[in-house]
Structure 1
Amino acid sequence: MFTLDQVRCFVAVAEHLHFGRAAESLLMTQPPLSRQVQKLEKAVGVTLIDRDNRSVALTRAGRQFLKEARQLLALAHRAPEQAQLIASGVEGHVSLGFTIGSGMSQLGPMVSGLAAKLPGVELSMTEMVTGEQIKAISEGQIDLGIGRPPATADPLETMLLEQDDLVLAVPSDHRLMTSGRPVKAEDVDGVPLIMHSPQLARYFYDLVVRYFPIDHSTVVQSLSQMTSMLNLVSAGIGIAFVPSSMRKLHMEGVVYVDVEDLPSGIVELRAIWDPESPNEALHRVLEAIRSGGLEHPLEA
Structure 2
Amino acid sequence: MFEISQLRCFVAVAEELHFSRAAERLNMTQPPLSRQIRLLEHHVGAQLLERNSRTVRLTAAGKAFFPEAARILRIAEEAAFVARRAAKGEQGTLAIGFTSASGYSLLPEVVRRLRERAPGISLTLKELVSTAQVEALNAGELDLGLMRPHPVNGELDSQLIATEALMLAIHENDADQWPEAPTLADLHGRPFVMYSPYEARPFYQMLSERFARTGVVPDVVEHVGQVHTMLALVRAGVGAALIAEGAGRLKIDGIVMRRMATEPVEMVCTYRRDNENPVLHLFLRDVLPSFHATA
Q: Place the TM-score, normalised by the shorter chain, in its bin.
A: 0.5 to 0.7
Summarize deviations over 1:50-74 as a string: whole Å, max 9, x none. xxxxxxxxxxxxxxxxxxxxxxxxx
Cα distance, 1:179 vs structure 2: 4.9
Aligned to 1:236: 237
Change (3 A) 1:153 1:239: farther
Aligned to 2:210: 211
Change (3 A) 1:297 1:184: closer
Aligned to 2:109: 109
Amino acid of the residue matched to residue 122 of structure 2?
Answer: E
Unpaired stretches in structure 2, ≥5 consecutive residues = 1-78
Q: Say what the alpha-carbon RMSD is for the aligned residues.
A: 2.4
1:148 maps to 2:148: yes
Aligned to 2:260: 259
Amino acid of the residue matched to residue 241 of structure 1?
Answer: L
Amino acid of the residue matched to residue 119 of structure 1?
Answer: P
Counterparts of 1:194 and 1:219 in 2: how far apart (Å)? 6
Matches for 1:264-283 after TM superposition, within 5 Å: 265=264, 267-283=265-281
Change (3 A) 1:268 1:205: same
| Larger CA Rg, structure 1 vs 2 | 2
Change (3 A) 1:220 1:119: same
Change (3 A) 1:254 1:296: farther
SS in structure 2 at match of 1:160: strand
Aligned to 1:26: none
Q: TM-score, normalised by structure 2?
A: 0.64
Instruction: State whether residues 114 and 285 of structure 1, in contact with CA within 8 Å, keep that contact through their aligned partners in structure 2.
Output: yes
Change (3 A) 1:93 1:215: same
Summarize deviations over 1:185-214 as a string: whole Å, max 9, x none. 232122111101112212111221222245
Aligned to 2:34: none
Q: TM-score, normalised by structure 1?
A: 0.63
Counterparts of 1:169 and 1:181 in 2: how far apart (Å)? 12
SS in structure 2 at match of 1:236: coil
Instruction: State whether residues 290 and 297 of structure 1, in contact with CA within 8 Å, keep that contact through their aligned partners in structure 2.
Output: no
Cα distance, 1:130 vs structure 2: 1.0
Change (3 A) 1:152 1:291: closer
Instruction: State whether residues 117 and 287 of structure 2, in contact with CA within 8 Å, keep that contact through their aligned partners in structure 1.
Output: no
SS in structure 2 at match of 1:113: helix
SS in structure 1 at match of 2:173: coil
Instruction: State whether residues 95 and 125 of structure 2, in contact with CA within 8 Å, keep that contact through their aligned partners in structure 1.
Output: yes
Counterparts of 1:179 and 1:224 in 2: how far apart (Å)? 25
Counterparts of 2:100 and 2:179 in 1: how far apart (Å)? 32
Amino acid of the residue matched to residue 269 of structure 2?
Answer: A
Instruction: State whether residues 109 and 295 of structure 1, in contact with CA within 8 Å, keep that contact through their aligned partners in structure 2.
Output: no
Counterparts of 2:272 and 2:156 in 1: how far apart (Å)? 5
Cα distance, 1:280 vs structure 2: 1.9
SS in structure 2 at match of 1:102: coil
Q: How many residues align?
A: 207
Q: Structure 1 residue runs of 4+, over 4 Å off?
A: 179-182, 294-298
Identity level (%): 29
Instruction: State whether residues 146 and 271 of structure 1, in contact with CA within 8 Å, keep that contact through their aligned partners in structure 2.
Output: yes
